[in-house]
Structures are given as structure tokens and as C-alpha cells.
Structure 1
Amino acid sequence: MTAVLRRLLATLLVSASLTGVAAGAPPAASAAPTAARLSAQDQATVARVEEYLNNIHTLQSKFVQVAPNGQQTTGIFSMARPGRMRLEYDKPIKDFVVADGSFIFYWDGEMRQQSSAPIGSTMADFILRKTIRLSGDVVVTNVFQAPGVVEVSLVESKDSGKGTLTLVFEDHPFQLRKWRVLDGQGLTTEVALLNPRTDVSFDRDMFYFKEPPKGSDYGRGN
């Protein structure tokens, strides 16, 4: 599996156990997460984030991904809640990921290999579920606010070893601008959204995995 795809897995919030296996390293040990002591203002911010995320039913955006080594790649991220998303890199990268509502499929374009995992076994489940709650099976570990910026960091309640997801919002207007994933290997990948659009209409076929034909340079549109 390529290094690019391994970073893609981290970017899409896949469990540290999967990324560790892909990288040939043992899974990181889990530790009980510590919930942040939220002030009244922080609690209001968390409620605002929940309301915002639950009001997003479809979203599409150009993205810029910055890998731990500083390498930048671009592509298109598409999401239709509940359960469906697609992430594709711009050429010449041939890898892509698609979630069909039950499973997430990973396509390694160089090796022409597909692997998959149930959505519920990944942190991607958090942003794809029908109702998003920043409590219960996820723990808010930090809320950061500065002029024009809001950040909320999360881990899974039962397995913080899957990594930390930090959602970054601009405040005026309030909207998701980027996310960061600190994975089980201690590496950070950041994805910035460029001019995200909501209430987008999609062809449902784009959220089903289809193996690209041999000789195809790209996954988009399959």
C-alpha cells in the first residue's frame, strides 16, 4: 500500500489499527481519554458546532491536504449524510476512497487493489452518521477560541488510540474550514476546504465503489 494511501487513511479518520497495519507497525496502545472541563462558553460552542454539522446534508469542496512531511496534494471531497462520501485526489494520484453507507472502500491506484472496512469501525462514522453528537461515544478533549476561529478536538470514548480529530471553523460566517488528524503514530495530517458548497445535488452512483477500468488514469466519475 502506498505512503499516499496510508496518509489518506489517516486523513479520513480511519482507526489507528488499520493505518498501523498498513504501515507495517503495531497498533498504538489505547488509553482512556480525558474529557475537557468545559466552561459555559465552551459548552455553548460545542452546541453550536453540533447544530451546524447536523444541518449539513450534502457538501462538496476542493481541498488541500498537507501531509506530516509537508507535502501538499489537492482533490475533491464530497459528502452526503448519512453514510456517504467520496474523496479523490487530482492527477497524477490515482487513489480514492468512497463510503456507500455501510462500508468505506480504499482504492490503491498504483497496485490496483481495493480494501474496505465497516464505517462504524472508523472515526469517519462520526461525521457521516445521521445525528451528530459531541458526547457519548466521542469525547471533547479541547475547545479553542480566538478572533474568527473556533477549534474543537475529539477522540473516541472507548479507543483514544484511533487518534484525535480537530475540527476548525471560521466564525463569520460560521463554517467548517479544515480538519486535522493526529494519528496513532503521532503524525498530523491537515485538510483545508476551499470554497465549500452545501446543499449540492449528487448522482447516487458516485457513492458506490466501482473498480476503475485498466488503463484509466483516474477514479473520478466511476
Structure 2
Amino acid sequence: MLRRSLLGAPLLILSAAAGAQAPAPDRAAVLARVEAYLNGLTTLKARFLQVAQNGASAQGTAWIWRPGRMRFDYDPPEPLLLVASGGQVMMIDRELRQPTTVPASATPLGLLLRDPIRLSGDITVTAVERRGGFLHVSLLRASAPAEGRLTLSFEEQPLQLRQWTVVDAQARETRVTLYEIETGIRLNTRMFDFNDPRFMEEELRRR
């Protein structure tokens, strides 16, 4: 089920969540602050916990290098590697030795890889809420809402991305929580270069 939910990631849709909406003036200030934070984020490394609607869970290590690059390496026994680079997202199943590629623009998380990130224009913000001690911002790509909606959850003091949540058309929720977060670190471009023939060979050897 975890593998199936990842393969369906480009079509994930977020359902509206109940919570206290920020007042209009505060909403504009909050979105400006979130934009500034995301555009100021260059590199990030974190451990992650992914939990699906049916309770299936997996852990791993995530790297984000804005703009354009992202990598999610799942811990064994989960054989999955998810890498975004050059406008594409590749999922590699090391067990099946099989890659699947989709456009980054067709995935909810592709919004995080843009340069710059703008929470306006072709991006529609559907909710800005404070609940559970976190700030939650829900958004979608206005021209193609069926491609997916995304809720980003932040600690506010200081502002830090801690979680995102997606729900598919059947209301199946997938939540990814970040912990042990490091930012502003040096990363190797080879971690993301799946167009290099050596990339696949090296990653499959790691199984």
C-alpha cells in the first residue's frame, strides 16, 4: 500500500481541514512570511516519517536543495528512492530495479521546488489555519487542481517547515513529518543527477 500511494503521488488531492481560519489582514502577513521563509530556504536535510491512511508507515532521510532538487531515501526494508531534478521526479524501486518518472509540475511537492515560490497567481491558497500549535497553509495549482493540493505545516517561532499532508480523491491521507532538521548545509549534486548513467548503477548497488 505504501508503494501504491507513492506511485499515485502526482494525483494526490488534499481535503479541506477544519480549523480556525486566520483573519484576512493576518492572512496576508502570514502568507508573506511563509513565502519569504520558503524562498530563503536553500538546503535542508531531515529524517522523515511517512504515515498512510491505512496506518502503513516508513522512515528515511530527505534532502531538499532549492530550487528544483529533492531526494527521499527510504530506510530498509522499504526499497524506494524518490528524486526530483531538472523538472522531473523519478521513483526507483530498488527491489524491482525499475524507475518511474513524472513531471515535477504534476506533483504537489513540485510547488516547493519552484523559483521563486509565490502563494498567488496560479497558486490558490485554500486555507490558512492555526491549530495544534502549528500554522497550516493549504494550497493548489489553480489551473490543474486535480494534480493535487498540499498542506504545509510550520512551527511559527521560529518559522520552520515540519510537515506536509496530502489526501487523494478517495480521501486517503498521507502525512510526512520532518525531524532532526538541518538547513544551510553543503550537498553533492550527484545525489540528484539521475540523468547520469552512473546514478542508477550506484543506487541499485546500495540495495
Query: Alpha-carbon deviation of 1:163?
Result: 2.6
1:7 aligns with 2:5: yes
**Contact kept? 1:163, 1:184, Cα under 8 Å:** no
Query: Alpha-carbon deviation of 1:99?
Result: 1.4
Query: Alpha-carbon deviation of 1:183?
Result: 2.0
1:201 aligns with 2:186: yes
Query: Alpha-carbon deviation of 1:118?
Result: 2.2
Structure number with the higher strand fraction is 2
Could you say which residue in structure 2 is the equivalent of 1:82? 67
Q: TM-score, normalised by structure 1?
A: 0.80
**Contact kept? 2:106, 2:147, Cα under 8 Å:** no
CA shift digits 1:104-130 (9 cap, x unpaired): 111122221111122223333210011
Query: Alpha-carbon deviation of 1:45?
Result: 0.8
Could you say which residue in structure 1 is the equivalent of 2:29? 44
- Taking a change above 3 Å as real, the CA distance of residues 107 and 191 of structure 1, as seen in their structure-2 partners, is same
C-alpha distance in 2, partners of 1:38/1:157? 22
Structure 2 SS opposite 1:120: helix
Structure 2 SS opposite 1:5: helix
Give the root-mean-square deviation of aligned CA atoms: 2.3
Residue 187 (structure 1) aligned to one of 150, 166, 172 = 172
Could you say which residue in structure 2 is the equivalent of 1:157? 142
C-alpha distance in 1, partners of 2:159/2:203? 43
Written as runs of structure 1 = structure 2, the 5 A alignment for 1:202-221 is 202-209=187-194, 210-212=199-201, 216=205, 218=207
Query: Alpha-carbon deviation of 1:136?
Result: 1.4
| Structure 2 residue identity aligned to 1:93 | E
Q: TM-score, normalised by structure 2?
A: 0.86
| Structure 2 residue identity aligned to 1:108 | D
Written as runs of structure 1 = structure 2, the 5 A alignment for 1:1-222 is 3-9=1-7, 14-16=9-11, 39-146=24-131, 148-209=133-194, 210-212=199-201, 216=205, 218=207
- Pick which of 181-190 and 52-61 moved more: 181-190
* 5+ long unaligned stretches in structure 1: 20-27, 29-35
Query: Alpha-carbon deviation of 1:147?
Result: 7.1
CA shift digits 1:22-50 (9 cap, x unpaired): xxxxxx9xxxxxxx996111111111111
**Contact kept? 1:148, 1:172, Cα under 8 Å:** no
* 5+ long unaligned stretches in structure 2: 14-20
**Contact kept? 2:2, 2:57, Cα under 8 Å:** no
- Taking a change above 3 Å as real, the CA distance of residues 180 and 100 of structure 1, as seen in their structure-2 partners, is same
Structure 2 SS opposite 1:87: strand
Q: How many residues align?
A: 196
C-alpha distance in 1, partners of 2:177/2:183? 16
C-alpha distance in 2, partners of 1:185/1:105? 24
**Contact kept? 1:65, 1:189, Cα under 8 Å:** yes
- Taking a change above 3 Å as real, the CA distance of residues 37 and 193 of structure 1, as seen in their structure-2 partners, is closer
| Structure 2 residue identity aligned to 1:8 | L
- Taking a change above 3 Å as real, the CA distance of residues 91 and 146 of structure 1, as seen in their structure-2 partners, is same
Structure 2 SS opposite 1:211: helix
| Structure 1 residue identity aligned to 2:169 | G
